[in-house]
């Protein structure tokens, strides 16, 4: 399999607020069987809709090393579920032997270059989500939907 992609980019309404982030080109990859879809947050045990969450105190790498947390807007610590989803996604990527992973920018799981800053105030900072950080740590190429479009 060539690609693993964020399910919401392929049209699945799995975002925290019950919507998708459809990208027609990515949906096409799935239809043409060049890509499989994955939603790390659903794999971690969440359902849709769910509370928005942001990384507090660092980025995805720091969550994996135990120095940052993922917190829901109401204050609940959901770090363990984010880490679980990241490891489940890694298993899929390894089983499918994908060459590239295309993930949704800004998500605390899937962000590849930018994420929200942890204040729930719509401010973004440079950094990656928990799943992106783990996949890169394990040697996978992880790009955003925008980078994917630039490659076409
Ligand atoms: Fe999309 Fe990733 Fe969020 Fe799932 S975890 S809804 S795939 S951005």
Is the Cβ atom of 107 under 6 angstroms away from ligand 1?
A: yes
How far is it, in rounded angstroms, from Cα 125 to Cα 118?
Answer: 9
* Rounded mean pLDDT, 45-49: 98
> Residue 90: what pLDDT?
98
Which atom of ligand 1 is nearest to 110's Cα? 2
> Residue 152: what pLDDT?
80
Contacts of 13 (CB under 8 A, 6+ apart): 19, 20, 48
How confident is the model over 114-139, as pLDDT tens digits? 999 999 999 999 999 999 999 999 99
Cα 4 to ligand 1 centroid, rounded to whole Å? 12
Structure tokens at 61: 């790498």
Per domain, the residue ranges of the chain are 3-151
Is the Cβ atom of 69 under 6 angstroms away from ligand 1?
A: no
Minimal-distance CA residue to ligand 1 atom 1: 8
Which atom of ligand 1 is nearest to 6's Cα? 7
Which atom of ligand 1 is nearest to 48's Cα? 6
Cα 152 to ligand 1 centroid, rounded to whole Å? 23
pTM above 0.95?
yes
pLDDT at residue 68 above 80? yes
> Residue 1: what pLDDT?
76
Q: Please state at what angle helix 130-137 crosses helix 79-96, rounded to 10 degrees.
A: 40
Is the Cβ atom of 39 under 6 angstroms away from ligand 1?
A: yes
Is the Cβ atom of 70 under 6 angstroms away from ligand 1?
A: no
Q: Could you tell me which of 51, 81, 54 has the C-alpha nearest to residue 68?
A: 54
- Best substitution site from 103, 107, 145 to test ligand 1's pocket, by max atoms within 8 Å of Cβ? 107
How far is it, in rounded angstroms, from Cα 70 to Cα 80?
Answer: 8
> Residue 84: what pLDDT?
98
């Amino acid at each position: 399999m060539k690609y693993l992609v964020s399910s919401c980019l392929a049209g699945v309404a799995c975002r925290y607020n019950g919507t998708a982030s459809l990208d027609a080109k990515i949906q096409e990859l799935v239809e043409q069987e060049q890509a499989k879809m994955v939603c790390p947050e659903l794999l971690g045990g969440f359902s849709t809709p769910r509370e928005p969450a942001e990384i507090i105190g660092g980025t995805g790498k720091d969550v994996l090393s135990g120095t940052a947390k993922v917190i829901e807007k109401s204050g609940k610590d959901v770090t363990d579920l984010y880490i679980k989803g990241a490891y489940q996604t890694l298993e899929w990527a390894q089983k499918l032997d994908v060459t590239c992973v295309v993930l949704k920018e800004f998500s605390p799981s899937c962000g590849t270059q930018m994420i929200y800053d942890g204040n729930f105030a719509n401010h973004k900072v440079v950094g990656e989500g928990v799943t992106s950080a783990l996949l890169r740590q394990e040697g996978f190429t992880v790009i955003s939907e925008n980078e994917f479009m630039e490659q076409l």
